[in-house]
Amino acid sequence: MHAVGSLEFWIQQMINALGLGSQYALMAVGLAMVFAVMRLINFAHGTVMMGGAYIGLLLLQRGLPFPLVAAGTILGAAALGVLMERIAYRPIRGAPDVALFLNSFAVAVFLENIAVLLFSPRSRPFPMPALLTQVFHPWGDLFIPSIHLWAFGGALLALGGLAFFVTRTRIGLAMRAAAENPTAAQLMGIEVGKVTLLAFAIGSAMAGLAVLFWVAHIGTVQPGMGFEPVLKAFVACVIGGFGTIPGAVLGGYLLGALEIFLQGLLPSAVVGYRDALVYAVLIFLLLVRPGGVLGHGEAERI
């Protein structure tokens, strides 16, 4: 490893943080969008990623070129999200938030078990093309895994596209309106049901993109793989400001940066406790700023 504090060290950490942060931001955004339109903390968000990953694996095993595998993962995740919304959430739309949340647990457990039945509980390797796994070695001690660059580039495109969509298109604006006040939105002629479905589809597609990078890091897929991503996505949302897209993005990058820098800076004796320290920072942050970094700012007239 490099000497802590050397230029290579900091550049290395920054690149790792951008790569990991991009992944977390993509995962968190999907969770935030669903919460915004439905007041639902979708515990099955990680399951959507797992489903997308398995669809990608099946396509890969059929010998499809990687761009199609990636597209299949993203679209598969989106399709799974849409099915989930129609079957498990829409029918109980007016129910208390807790009921929706419990349903999402049920969906997650149900789908995980289906995956165990279909694919067995053991991990399966998901080989990535060399283009994604190569490591650049520009100079000295600096190693740049290309996956981080892909993740950053992918996130830039996807999140940039999303930002344009929600601020400058009619339907994107309708989504924000429906999230804030579904009744008033309906009175403008906005079909809140369709807009909610679209939010699920887009959010799940983002998660599908994120899982490609997740799988590139761990190299395998297994039915229980969705738990950790949804937890990270949730923490990222809370850090940044829960339920908003900017909050999710900021939280994702902050969480990624926090994990990477703690990993790099902690002495080897305690680096195993990195996650505990991440959560300690989270608790402290929430004590000081319960709304997250971007939490409630301006005053509002009622």
Partner 1 sequence: MGEPAILELREIDAAYGAIRALHGLSLQVKPGEVVALLGPNGAGKTTTLRVISGLLRPARGQVFYKGSEITGRPPAAIARMGIIQCPEGRQVFKNLTVGENLWLGAYRLRDPGRERRNLEWVLQLFPVLKERLNQRAGLLSGGQQQMLAIARALMAEPEVLLLDEPSLGLAPRVVEEVFEALARLKAQGLTMLIVEQNAEKALGLADRAYVLEAGRLVLADSAARLRENPHLVRIYLGR
Q: Which residues here bind partner 1, judged by CB under 8 A? A: 170, 173-174, 176-177, 180-181, 183-192, 298-301
Rounded CA-CA distance 257/254 in Å is: 5
CB closer to partner 1 out of 77 and 198: 198
HSE-CB at 56 with a 13 A cutoff on CA atoms is 36
8 A C-beta contact, residue 230 and residue 45: yes
Rounded CA-CA distance 125/143 in Å is: 24
Q: DSSP letters of 234-272? A: HHHHHHH-TT-HHHHHHHHHHHHHHHHHHHHHS-TTTGG
Rounded CA-CA distance 52/57 in Å is: 9
Provide the minimum distance between the beta carbon of 193 and partner 1 in the complex, in angstroms, as a whole number: 9
Rounded CA-CA distance 156/154 in Å is: 5
Provide the minimum distance between the beta carbon of 125 and partner 1 in the complex, in angstroms, as a whole number: 45
CB closer to partner 1 out of 113 and 169: 169
CB closer to partner 1 out of 70 and 192: 192
Provide the minimum distance between the beta carbon of 185 and partner 1 in the complex, in angstroms, as a whole number: 8
Structure tokens of 145? 């895994």
Provide the minimum distance between the beta carbon of 93 and partner 1 in the complex, in angstroms, as a whole number: 14
Provide the minimum distance between the beta carbon of 188 and partner 1 in the complex, in angstroms, as a whole number: 5
Q: DSSP letters of 182-244? A: HHHHHHTT--HHHHHHHHHHHHHHHHHHHHHHHHHHH-EE-GGGGHHHHHHHHHHHHHH-TT-
CB closer to partner 1 out of 113 and 181: 181
CB closer to partner 1 out of 137 and 296: 296
Rounded CA-CA distance 199/6 in Å is: 44
Provide the minimum distance between the beta carbon of 36 and partner 1 in the complex, in angstroms, as a whole number: 10
Provide the minimum distance between the beta carbon of 184 and partner 1 in the complex, in angstroms, as a whole number: 4
CB closer to partner 1 out of 192 and 205: 192
